Structure 1
Amino acid sequence: MSTLSTLQFIEQAQPNWHRAVLKVGSSLLANSEDGLSPRHALGLAQFVSASLAAGKEVVIVSSGAVAVGRAILHRKAEAGVALAERQALAALGQAELIGLWQRFFERPVAQVLLTHDDLRNRRRYLNARSILQELLRLGTLPIINENDTVSVDELKLGDNDNLAAVVAALIDADALFIATDIDGFYTANPRTDKDARPIDAVESLTPEMFAMAGGAGTAGGTGGMRTKLEAADKATAAGIETCLFNGTSPDALRLLLLGKFRGTRFRPAQNRLAARKYWLRNVPVESGGIIVDAGAARALMDKGASLLPGGVSTAKGDFRRGDMVEVVLSDDSGQRCIARGVSQYSAMEIRRIARCHSREIDSILGYNYGENIVHRDDLVLL
């Protein structure tokens, strides 16, 4: 990659890992003019093959379906393309994308398409987790992509970087490798700023670092440095070391085969969140929320208690039982979100039993799902 900045990243050892997620961006696999290219994918596949031969486990999160679809129809990448067209292009390109990966490996690859809904719903989240773990047990190589054909929110955000971070937590990975077309994270855009300095290691991401990030790097890709930082932030919060490197660099790919790494290393948080608490903290919430008083807030924050109906003022929105919702403290200073969790009752049911004792739930509703509105095991403080 040619940049105006000439400063180089240092060579360092890879994290100690047994199971990893490798995220590969669109710019490494395809463009809208020529379609798929094995040029950069081959080096990444050699890294995966060597890792598998060493008894390690790898899951690939692969972008590129939309770019391949464009090439099939001989369309150029354009800004502001209608969502339906992008979804159609993704459907066209997905089969060829999986075919590209399969040609590199003797073992079977398994396509897994995920949406935000799969990660928001606890039952479907756990089902996805079980399937991926079973695919690894069977010796297959899972290839994951956002289900662009049906996922409105994800296509709008262009967020396979964050998807990779969530998948890494989903499968209890030790490391997340993000392959892109830039050498790593710099203090500024190295393509335009000759004074941009490489950042070899990040102990903790700060608002200033996010401010350094720009938008999408290529016409064919939808991710940019900011989404990579967001992904690193999520992964490290779950105790997963994250490595950002240049997948177009022969030298960087050669080092991977030697157990080394050149790029930016994001170190994990000191205290690893439990997998369930991580899920509660990061999956999207439904609109609305559960409004609580100061007494309930103290019980949640100081005593680690469950949320009972007696401390609930009301519920806003139209969420259902089992949805992820915010818990909002309402007092003289206003309203602020203090927690999020899985509600055992719908918004309509909560409005009926608010301010009541738990033993009254059955007589008011004619049934009950337990004494808690949100159980402490299903709740995380913010």
Structure 2
Amino acid sequence: MNADPADHAATRNVQVLPPWRRAVLKVGSSLLAADGGGLSPRFALGLAQFVSASQAAGREVVIVSSGAVAAGRAILPRVEEAGAAIAARQALAALGQAQLIGLWQRFFERPVAQVLLTHDDLRNRRRYLNARATLNELLRLGALPVVNENDTVSVDELKLGDNDNLAAIVAVLIDAEVLFIATDIDGLFDANPRTHPLANLVPEVSELTPEVLAMASGSGSEVGTGGMRTKLEAASKAGAAGIDTILFNGRRADVVRALGQDRLEGTRIRAARSRIAARKYWLRHAPVEPGAIVVDAGAAAALVQKGASLLPGGIVAADGDFRRGDMVEVVLRDEDGERRVARGISQYSAIDVRRIARRHSREIEAVLGYNYGGNVIHRDDLVLL
């Protein structure tokens, strides 16, 4: 039997993965759906072993998993997905979500946490911060977050099947270094390998030019709703935040095992700039809300000289009416006048900042009745001016 030329292409191009500590692994429906409907552990097992090996090495992984609709279809096979009403597909997603989480939980001793998001959750500033805080806390507790789009209430996203882009947004959300996208082909090819047997694998993409985007085609499977085009769109979003994207064949056990040894047989799409540079650029140029957080000299020195987070104890006042999640400036006022010190994303509204000013971080919950953490602005969300 002649070997698939795509397999040969992938085998010839073995790369070393970039160093990473935190990653998002996106798994599509084509890797989880069983032939007769429902979910199959056939390919999920190898991916779970990669996650376990990464966790054993001290790394953190968040899974973005499709497959809820496919799982629900097995429970109610009478519902025809082709041309079905959106409500029927949403019902399938609701039925299948528990099955999907159950599939992943069977592979891990640590708890698996279900996190359902929509793009609206990630566009809204307050929801964005809440989602990030939840995911970070789950990782801190040693749980494995499994994120899926909330298809039971999401209409536009369900029709688009946009989990590739959702995975990129989650990667930005948790400050990941790399986005792994498991697919059912070896990576990006210069032509569709299913219709062009001599198509060549592209092992590395340094820039997503129009010529590279032209290589992408539509959906490649009957159960998946995203194709290579959506994966390149996701890579573009991740790359703008300094995150590399890795495309690999999740059906090939040898390729998945190689990832656990930091070797890639697939396509690496390099980020446009470093992760730190991308985030600092965004923090420096994002629109600032009217108002400011006024700090004393000690807090200003801690921010500038020590790279510290902004704590409530060093805050003197809050100007304006900004909300939690807004970009605000940090200023120092003294006998010499007012000087801009920094800008960053406030974890608390102006009203709350006024109430906790000059307080210790441990007093926040007693004063407000709730807390979003001990930092008013975390150092990762702050850039010096």
One fold, TM greater than 0.5? yes
Where 1:177 maps in the other structure, the secondary structure is strand
Q: Note the C-alpha offset of 1:237.
A: 1.1
Q: Note the C-alpha offset of 1:217.
A: 1.1
Is the contact made by 2:32 and 2:44 (CA closer than 8 Å) also made in structure 1?
yes
The CA RMSD over aligned residues, in Å, is 2.8
- Once residues 77 and 253 of structure 1 are traced to their aligned partners in structure 2, the CA distance between those partners, rounded to angstroms, is 33
- Once residues 182 and 80 of structure 1 are traced to their aligned partners in structure 2, the CA distance between those partners, rounded to angstroms, is 27
Is the contact made by 1:33 and 1:74 (CA closer than 8 Å) also made in structure 2?
no
Residue 26, structure 1, aligned to residue 33, structure 2: no
Q: Note the C-alpha offset of 1:274.
A: 4.5
- Once residues 30 and 271 of structure 1 are traced to their aligned partners in structure 2, the CA distance between those partners, rounded to angstroms, is 36
Where 2:242 maps in the other structure, the secondary structure is coil
- Once residues 66 and 287 of structure 2 are traced to their aligned partners in structure 1, the CA distance between those partners, rounded to angstroms, is 42
Q: Structure 1 unaligned runs (5+)? A: 281-299, 309-320, 325-341, 343-377
Q: How does 1:166-245 map to 2 (within 5 A)?
A: 166-245=169-248
Q: Which amino acid aligns with 2:100?
A: L
Residue 158, structure 1, aligned to residue 191, structure 2: no
Q: Note the C-alpha offset of 1:212.
A: 1.9
- For residue 349 of structure 1, what is the aligned residue in structure 2? none
Q: How does 1:72-111 map to 2 (within 5 A)?
A: 72-75=75-78, 78-111=81-114
Q: Percent identity?
A: 67
Q: Deviations over 1:105-124 (max 9, x none)?
A: 00001000001211111111
Where 1:150 maps in the other structure, the secondary structure is coil
Q: Structure 2 unaligned runs (5+)? A: 291-321, 326-344, 346-380
- Once residues 157 and 287 of structure 2 are traced to their aligned partners in structure 1, the CA distance between those partners, rounded to angstroms, is 35
**Distance verdict in 2 for CA 1:244–1:159, change over 3 Å:** same
Q: Note the C-alpha offset of 1:216.
A: 1.2
- For residue 51 of structure 2, what is the aligned residue in structure 1? 48
Q: Which amino acid aligns with 2:116?
A: L
- Once residues 5 and 257 of structure 1 are traced to their aligned partners in structure 2, the CA distance between those partners, rounded to angstroms, is 22
Is the contact made by 2:171 and 2:238 (CA closer than 8 Å) also made in structure 1?
yes
- For residue 69 of structure 1, what is the aligned residue in structure 2? 72
Where 2:222 maps in the other structure, the secondary structure is coil
Is the contact made by 1:7 and 1:197 (CA closer than 8 Å) also made in structure 2?
no
Q: Which amino acid aligns with 1:79?
A: A
Residue 121, structure 1, aligned to residue 124, structure 2: yes
Q: Note the C-alpha offset of 1:219.
A: 1.2
Is the contact made by 1:185 and 1:198 (CA closer than 8 Å) also made in structure 2?
yes
Q: Which amino acid aligns with 2:190?
A: T
- Once residues 140 and 252 of structure 2 are traced to their aligned partners in structure 1, the CA distance between those partners, rounded to angstroms, is 32
Residue 132, structure 1, aligned to residue 139, structure 2: no
Where 1:36 maps in the other structure, the secondary structure is coil
- Once residues 305 and 26 of structure 1 are traced to their aligned partners in structure 2, the CA distance between those partners, rounded to angstroms, is 38
Is the contact made by 1:77 and 1:220 (CA closer than 8 Å) also made in structure 2?
no
Is the contact made by 2:240 and 2:278 (CA closer than 8 Å) also made in structure 1?
no
Is the contact made by 1:3 and 1:191 (CA closer than 8 Å) also made in structure 2?
no
- Once residues 288 and 253 of structure 2 are traced to their aligned partners in structure 1, the CA distance between those partners, rounded to angstroms, is 53
**Distance verdict in 2 for CA 1:116–1:72, change over 3 Å:** same
Q: How does 1:245-256 map to 2 (within 5 A)?
A: 245-256=248-259
How many residue pairs match? The answer is 292
Q: Deviations over 1:135-181 (max 9, x none)?
A: 00000000000000001121121100000000000000011100010
Residue 8, structure 1, aligned to residue 9, structure 2: yes
- Once residues 62 and 218 of structure 1 are traced to their aligned partners in structure 2, the CA distance between those partners, rounded to angstroms, is 16
Larger mean Cα displacement after TM superposition, 69-78 or 85-94: 69-78
Where 1:184 maps in the other structure, the secondary structure is coil
Where 2:61 maps in the other structure, the secondary structure is strand
**Distance verdict in 2 for CA 1:131–1:307, change over 3 Å:** closer
**Distance verdict in 2 for CA 1:202–1:91, change over 3 Å:** same
- Once residues 35 and 88 of structure 2 are traced to their aligned partners in structure 1, the CA distance between those partners, rounded to angstroms, is 14
**Distance verdict in 2 for CA 1:182–1:17, change over 3 Å:** same
**Distance verdict in 2 for CA 1:55–1:188, change over 3 Å:** same
Give the alignment's TM-score, normalised by structure 1: 0.71
- Once residues 93 and 102 of structure 2 are traced to their aligned partners in structure 1, the CA distance between those partners, rounded to angstroms, is 14
Q: Note the C-alpha offset of 1:260.
A: 1.0
**Distance verdict in 2 for CA 1:6–1:64, change over 3 Å:** closer
- Once residues 74 and 83 of structure 2 are traced to their aligned partners in structure 1, the CA distance between those partners, rounded to angstroms, is 18
- Once residues 264 and 164 of structure 1 are traced to their aligned partners in structure 2, the CA distance between those partners, rounded to angstroms, is 17
**Distance verdict in 2 for CA 1:234–1:226, change over 3 Å:** same
Is the contact made by 2:79 and 2:88 (CA closer than 8 Å) also made in structure 1?
no
- For residue 286 of structure 1, what is the aligned residue in structure 2? none
